[in-house]
A and B are shown apart, each in its own frame.
Chain A
Amino acid sequence: MAHNIQTEIETLKGHIVYLSTVVEENMQCAIKALIEKNSDLAYQVMQTDRCEVDHIETDVEQECLRIMALHQPVASDLRFLVTALKVNSDLERIGDLVAKIADKVLLLYKADPVKFLSDSMQIPEMFNGMFDKTVWMFKQAMEAFVNEDTDLAYKVCLADDEVDQAKRTIYSELEESIMSDPAQHVYLAKLLSVARSTERIADHCTNICEDIIYMAQGRIVRHNH
């Protein structure tokens, strides 16, 4: 064996942190592309997801499987590797949802570029709070992963309710807007999808935190266990 398992785990941890950095930057870019109606940036987000995020995820998974096969880990090493596999998968799914938000920007732009760039299509203010909270959850989840900080992980899990509530508010307001202004329904339906994707990102952050609690304490806390 080229390395001992502790060295392998530290290297793997570094690769997961790198993946999370790429996903976080892409998330910030997707939000910016939506708010600033920047189709080039939206296209770049989708490219990054396809070319970078997906490849890193595959590499990390292979690395996890190799370490498991060669070192046959137990106890904290086993819990770390199982968590790493799941966090890796959650990060990839978050990457997909980020790309989905960027895709909505491109679809709106392609449908009617002039109308999309006009002032009649504004992103409702209420999205800002939801975006901020979701990005905060993502950053804190990764900090909890790096430091094995279960207190922070629990805090992030609790914040998911706020994002869920924000999505419900946005849904009811957008539905009302569709009723009052049916001509805008294509645009507003895309915004519904953005709210849904953002809420799903927050769910994945919660999954990551639940797995961090398992990694640190060996307790499965999913489904209120």
Chain B
Amino acid sequence: MSHSNTAIMSIENPQVVVENLNFFYGSSQALKDVSFGIPQSQVTALIGPSGCGKSTFLRCINRMNDLVEGLRIEGLITIDGENINDTSLDVIELRRKVGMVFQKWNPFPKSIYENVIYGLRIAGIKERRVLDQAVEQSLKRAALWDEVKDRLQQSAMGLSGGQMQRLCIARAVAVNPEIILMDEPCSALDPRSTSRIEDLIRELRGEYTIIIVTHNMQQAARISDYTAYMYLGELIEYGPTQKLFTVPERKETEDYITGRFG
């Protein structure tokens, strides 16, 4: 991967490699020649104003855009060296490997237990012992076990917003993904629940590669190792979070993170 732009840092041995990615919704281009590498077992934050292509980019990584009518994608995205847009690729397997947590928690109207093992059931796993173990492990990883262990068979709809979002994270990790995509996971949560999710992201780091879209600049600064700033579909700057938030290289980044933008 080569970058003519020095504000986009090259990562050694990246897990996700994006090369010259262009994405079109019909005639409208949402991503313009985006190239960068995302490191394994680290947290990478995507920041930028609304409509800059962050969520579109995120959804490219597990091909969630496939169902969008009139989309066109150019360029290359590889995960562990494999082209994810290859026609022979099993999209279900890709989405097992790349889990996703959304802005608004979306538990199924089922028990807490059934929510966690939903992906495993779809994969055909029926053995009770394996499922029980997966529930406990996933809820512990999502820092929810202690709060729900005595009511696993109760409806997930009775949980608080913050608990539901952690349940969604438990559901995502139950299928043993390698990468977790998070699209503004705290935007609808109160400060206390946000803090718990941020703690959780820090704990999951090291075990999973996490790519998070956030509008909260302080959150990006607190939880991520690397930050990418996008504007109008272009990747403007990408590098270590500490550097980007103290000495950004590009004026556009400086203007955005200091609120001078626009």
Contact = CB atoms under 8 A, between A and B. Distances in A.
Given A5-B258, A6-B260, A77-B258, A72 B218 contact: yes
Nearest to A72: B218
B187 to A, nearest CB: 18
Contacts of B254: 75-76
A169 B217 CA distance: 54
A79 B218 contact: no
A218 interface: yes
B259 A79 contact: no
A74 interface: yes
Contacts of A79: 246-247
Residue with the greatest number of chain A CB neighbours at <10 A, chosen from B218, B221, B245, B259: B259
Given A74-B257, A75-B254, A218 B247 contact: yes
B248 interface: yes
Interface residues of A, number: 13
A4 interface: yes
A46 to B, nearest CB: 40
A121 to B, nearest CB: 53
Residue with the greatest number of chain B CB neighbours at <10 A, chosen from A4, A6, A74: A74
Interface in A48-76: 72-76
Interface in B217-258: 217-218, 221, 245-248, 253-254, 257-258
Interface in A68-93: 72-79
Contacts of B253: 75
Nearest to B253: A75
Contacts of A78: 245-246
B67 to A, nearest CB: 37
A172 to B, nearest CB: 44
A131 to B, nearest CB: 37
Contacts of B245: 74-75, 78
Nearest to B243: A218
B257 A75 contact: yes
B258 A74 contact: yes
Contacts of A77: 258
B227 to A, nearest CB: 11
A180 to B, nearest CB: 56
A75 B246 contact: yes
A105 B68 CA distance: 83
Contacts of B260: 6
Residue with the greatest number of chain B CB neighbours at <10 A, chosen from A72, A75, A79, A217: A75
A218 B239 CA distance: 15
B258 A73 contact: yes
Contacts of B258: 5, 73-77
A75 B248 CA distance: 7
A39 to B, nearest CB: 49
Interface of A: 4-6, 72-79, 217-218
* 3 closest A-B pairs by CB: A218-B247, A74-B245, A74-B257
